[in-house]
Structure 1
């Protein structure tokens, strides 16, 4: 939640080294956990700090790794074709995964830093002399943030060390990995605590919009149960959210990712940004994923394979998902012709960019960089409905599955009536249609890789992708392959520095 500038950084200690003498020196004239948490204002600021470090303050920390879910699949390429520009992201996009790739290490380290902040805040707020109801809500909010961060870790790395209280740097180096099951159990416990105390979205004051809610906690419970294949529980919590009537699909698909629609009708949880020029409170991804001809960096470009998935279905969501070379997206200006968009083919692997992360020229702030004001939607109602559809299918309740699936399709059909019709499929064809709907509805939102992994079909889908590339006639990305895929890619490697610092206590994932 980057609209708050205070960073309340209390380091977890994972991956940190320091001089022992310095660590033993008492701080002078500084706030510490011992003299903080004395007022409600300080406790609230600590919570805002937890939101802030959950997203960090620059592109190279966590922001960039949100492209993993796209580039680690058949949906996108590295994009920027300059060989030496972020080479390690290029390695990731073609599945050449090495444990010493800094992108894996940065994601691991900075998410753990966010978890460390949460742990410190939980201890401090629990002892603070503040109103009991406020205390309960703030603790619930921090537990939600911790659960969100652990979810981001475990879905990529598998089991990681479960750290639920502040630890010293020396203690952190002795930690071992917990199992994936233990991590999900803790995520679920935190989310249940959060759901019990957080307000519903519509009960939030306007100034709190974007903070964690009961609906967000219950939706992530549905997602955690989906990932652990506990279908009844996934359906149960999805239906709690559905029946709460807090969310809907009234916003047109074309507006879901609009900068003018922050925390919209279907937003369950999103990271909030603004264009403040004093503090870096925005996202860098609007620059990172834009065409290099249009002042961007050109990364994470959609594949022709993704485009063809829309074309085969005659699906009008294509226009609001992909900008292709020559597309019209705005008016012509003296500096750039937006009626014939230039993706800079000489430096773009696919001749395409993501429409969902695209800011019109009028919406770009001065000194854009990490001040991009387009919120990052982490979980929305269409996603939840498709999770409900999948869980219901697994429980043999095909009528419910089709109902949720077709609610999503009905909204898409409003873009061009008569194109996205209700599904009537049954059996395995219905599951295939639910999975296809996830690809089309949520494309370029960072979900595809993780979906393929939990569906146990990453290798099969990517093998088929490579085969189709050999006969692809697209003028921009024909013949390009992702040629290093194997079963080990169902997990990211544990970063080499983390294994070294732990003295071997943290073990590597299989195959690395």
Structure 2
């Protein structure tokens, strides 16, 4: 899949233009003339995948940086992430916020167009019914993936399930969160039925989404919906569907397709991609012109560190320090700390004492021509995450065993990290802290705090402790959601109301 994937990205979009809601999302003549052969459908499908390319960077900029994992106030001029980290009210034109909206809708527009073409031409062009079903399953998963991402960041968003014109797009209001969830779940149910297990894919297709990735996302959807409402129109509906999530997770566990690797570092080894812990990842490959490899390894790493290692200028990024509060929560024996975090460095006469996340950087693989061309995949769902999410469900009342499904799982994760003292009767607080240490840099912490209902208490206490310089704004519960981009409000005046607090 990798070769096809980066070729499609390099070509741009074969089925849709990269446009926002006020523009024509689909070129009908292009679609009509393009989908003529089975290979056209393969290329078009990969174009739907290619909208995931910016997803890891989005997690780092909007989730990781928003959370208590990073104290990312700027010390080198105003940076785009500073308003994200410091809870500024005026971030409706922030490029990271705009990208989250536009990037996901690009993927949705491509998915809608693809499904329509598959319906009208697929049976004639693609003779194998199983191939058509698999293709539809992949696209339905991706469309659900994009909508779930939008829902978690913005709450209510426009639900567009078919190809629309620019004029039509300007008349589609934001849908209620309950309606969005119903749509997402329906797509995922179909995807589960249509997609194969990962072990059945041919070698060239191993990177494609599989039925267990769809189950993993559906389980996370149920968990997110089960979180508290927090008094906002956000992702939590207090639906108490923890048991439904466990049903999906148990299917994955029973498959025997996945397992924890014996060492933490092996999970992220560039030479060990698609390992047994990976349920779904976003594929990247280097070598195309222009560069279309990964960018996420570089996002949280200061340019001066690369310079200190002799790699020259990598783009001018300044440091986003790891919060001292998190550094203090790693035990001395925890191998994850040294793997995930670089604890200072010197660059000539300059000495940097603060720490930063270097989890995804292999210094033997630093791109020599472009910082946007890293050769490694981003793991979206991994088995350790699944086991700890199931443990969370059990602690919230889902059927399960507190010893085997919670204590044993948490201690297995801790043992791999080099921690030999077991925990007994693990609490929700302890579980969240273990997830924080395990998944630093993977963008889960912000959503964990929201889903657990602890975000307001945690962030206010953390700001009081960490922000000794008084550079951050007070946290308000409305900041669980991001603002609708001002550009979208301008495109269709009066169609959307801005989220509260902005």
Do these two structures clear the TM 0.5 threshold for a shared fold by scoring above it?
A: yes
CA gap of 1:100–1:73, structure 2 versus 1, over 3 A, is: same
1:116-131 to 2 correspondences below 5 Å: 116-127=109-120, 128=122, 129=124, 130-131=126-127
Count the aligned residue pairs: 468
Maintained 8 Å contact 2:71/2:466:
no
CA gap of 1:162–1:396, structure 2 versus 1, over 3 A, is: closer
Equivalent in the alignment of 1:475 = none
Equivalent in the alignment of 1:38 = 36
Length-normalised TM-score, structure 2: 0.86
Equivalent in the alignment of 2:81 = 89
Equivalent in the alignment of 2:279 = 268
Maintained 8 Å contact 1:14/1:172:
no
**Runs of 4+, deviation exceeding 4 Å:** 341-346, 478-481
Tell me how far apart the structure 2 counterparts of residues 343 and 291 of structure 1 sit (CA, whole Å). 15
Residue 238 of structure 1: how far off its partner (Å)? 0.9
Residue 479 of structure 1: how far off its partner (Å)? 4.6
Maintained 8 Å contact 1:298/1:353:
no
Matched, 1:443 2:443: no
- Alignment root-mean-square deviation, CA: 2.6
1:97-116 to 2 correspondences below 5 Å: 97-98=89-90, 99-116=92-109
Matched, 1:373 2:375: yes
Residue number among 15, 22, 41 corresponding to 1:16 in the alignment? 22
Tell me how far apart the structure 1 counterparts of residues 487 and 144 of structure 2 sit (CA, whole Å). 24
Maintained 8 Å contact 2:21/2:488:
yes
Deviations, residues 265-302 of structure 1 (Å, cap 9, x unaligned): 11111111122142422112223322322144245432
Maintained 8 Å contact 2:450/2:480:
yes
CA gap of 1:159–1:299, structure 2 versus 1, over 3 A, is: farther
Equivalent in the alignment of 2:143 = 146
Maintained 8 Å contact 1:280/1:370:
yes
Matched, 1:160 2:161: no
Maintained 8 Å contact 2:258/2:276:
yes
SS at match of 2:328: helix
Residue number among 48, 51, 66 corresponding to 1:50 in the alignment? 48
Deviations, residues 113-158 of structure 1 (Å, cap 9, x unaligned): 1110111011112222212211111011011111111111111111
Matched, 1:289 2:300: yes
Matched, 1:363 2:365: yes
Maintained 8 Å contact 2:48/2:139:
yes
Equivalent in the alignment of 2:481 = 491
Equivalent in the alignment of 1:185 = 182
Length-normalised TM-score, structure 1: 0.85
Matched, 1:307 2:300: no
Deviations, residues 51-104 of structure 1 (Å, cap 9, x unaligned): 112225xxxx973553321110110133763113xx231111111142222321
Maintained 8 Å contact 1:302/1:354:
yes
Maintained 8 Å contact 2:62/2:96:
no
Gaps of at least 5 residues in structure 1 are 327-340, 471-477
Maintained 8 Å contact 2:259/2:383:
yes
Maintained 8 Å contact 1:288/1:298:
no
Tell me how far apart the structure 2 counterparts of residues 169 and 378 of structure 1 sit (CA, whole Å). 32
Residue 458 of structure 1: how far off its partner (Å)? 1.4
Matched, 1:320 2:339: yes
CA gap of 1:121–1:17, structure 2 versus 1, over 3 A, is: closer
Maintained 8 Å contact 1:12/1:168:
no
Tell me how far apart the structure 1 counterparts of residues 397 and 348 of structure 2 sit (CA, whole Å). 45
Maintained 8 Å contact 1:63/1:283:
no
CA gap of 1:469–1:71, structure 2 versus 1, over 3 A, is: same
Gaps of at least 5 residues in structure 2 are 227-240, 308-313
Residue 44 of structure 1: how far off its partner (Å)? 0.8
Equivalent in the alignment of 2:72 = 78
Equivalent in the alignment of 1:176 = 173
Matched, 1:69 2:80: no
CA gap of 1:35–1:453, structure 2 versus 1, over 3 A, is: same
Tell me how far apart the structure 2 counterparts of residues 488 and 372 of structure 1 sit (CA, whole Å). 36
Maintained 8 Å contact 1:267/1:381:
yes
Deviations, residues 397-421 of structure 1 (Å, cap 9, x unaligned): 56247535533532442343xx244
Equivalent in the alignment of 2:212 = 215
Maintained 8 Å contact 1:388/1:401:
no
Equivalent in the alignment of 2:238 = none
CA gap of 1:268–1:34, structure 2 versus 1, over 3 A, is: same
SS at match of 1:269: strand
Equivalent in the alignment of 2:430 = 433
Equivalent in the alignment of 1:246 = 257
Tell me how far apart the structure 1 counterparts of residues 53 and 150 of structure 2 sit (CA, whole Å). 14
